[in-house]
Amino acid sequence: MTHNKTIVEVIHTRKTLEGAGVRLHRGFANAEVPKFDPFLLFDDFSGEDPDDYIKGFPWHPHRGIETITYMLHGEVRHHDSAGHSGEIRGGDVQWMTAGSGIMHEEMPQGIHGIQGFQLWLNLPQKSKMTDPKYRDVLKKDIPSTAVGKSATVKVIAGELGNIIGPVKDVKAEPIYLDVQIKPHGEFKFEIPFDYNTFCFVISGAIGTSDDEKVSYGKDNIVLFSRTGSQLSLKSGVNGAHILLMSGRPLNEPISWYGPIVMNSRAEIETAYNELQTGEFIKKN
C-alpha cells in the first residue's frame, strides 16, 4: 500500500540582509539544522526595486557545500577565483560545488526586477575537500513534462518517470523540481521513503490531498515527513507554483560558520586560518 507523506512543519520566510545589503527572504538556515538534511539553506532573493538587490554578493569564500542558483527572471553575473565568469539568466541554473574552497561573487543586474532563489546543499564528509567545479545549466536544457492533467514539471535534478534532470552524479542524490499546478489541480510524485522533502510556494497555495483546506500560500516553506513514499499535493483556486526539493539525509555532524560548512570546529578554524594566510584555494 502506498502511504502519503504528511506536512510536519510550515515556515514562513523571514526578511534578512545578506551580501553587501541584499534584502531577501530566508526560508531556513543553520537554526533549522538538521531537519532539512542534506539541505542547509534556502533564500528567495527576488526583488522589484533595484535598491533591494543591486549591491549583490561581492567576493566571498565557500567550502564544504554546493550552492544552487535558479533564476526565473533577470540576470546574475558571477566571477570566481578559478577564472570562471558568466551570466545566469531567466530559466538558467548554476550548480556550484565549492568543495575544498572557492572565492566568488554574484551580482544581480538590471533595473526591472529579478526573481531568483539559492539553495545550499551539504557535501558528505568524504567529499568536503573535492575539487571545486561548476555546472551551468541553460533553460533550454532543462526538460519539462506534464504530470497527469493538472501539473507541468521542469526537472532540474533527479528523475520523474523517464525524465532525468541535467544535473547528475550529486552525492546527496537530490531531487529538484519546478512544479506548476493548475487551479484546483493535483500533483502526485513518488519519493524515496527516508528522504527529507520540502517545497517553497512561489505563488498560489497548496495542501496535501488529505487536507480539508488548501492553506499554505506564497512565501511558505512546507516540510514533509520522511515516512511515506508518495507526495500528493492539491492547489487552490489560483493554482500553485512551487519549487520541490528532496534529498537523502547525510546524518553527519555539522560545523557551520558563515559561508563555510564542515564536520568539526577544528576544520572551520583551519579554513579561516587559511583565508588569512592565503592558503584557502587549493592548487590542482
In sequence order, what DSSP letters do the residues of 82-106 get, joined into one string?
TS-EEEEETT-EEEEE-TT-EEEEE
- Give pLDDT tens digits for 91-150: 999 999 999 999 999 999 999 999 999 999 999 999 999 999 989 999 999 999 999 999
pLDDT digits (tens, 9 = 90+) for 180-229: 999 999 999 999 889 999 999 999 999 998 888 888 999 999 999 998 88
Complete DSSP assignment for 220-256: EEEEE-SS-SEEEEEEEEEEEEEEEEEE-------EE
Cβ pair 133, 99 in contact under 8 A: yes
34-86, pLDDT tens digit by residue? 999 999 999 999 999 999 999 999 999 999 999 999 999 999 999 988 888 88
- pTM above the 0.85 mark? yes
Burial 130-139 (b: 16+ CB within 10 A, else e): eebebbebee
Measure the N-to-C terminal CA separation of the chain; round to a whole number of Å. 51
- Residue 276 half-sphere exposure, CB side, CA atoms within 13 Å? 6
Query: 3-class DSSP state for residue 209?
Result: coil
Which CATH number is associated with domain 7-266? 2.60.120.10
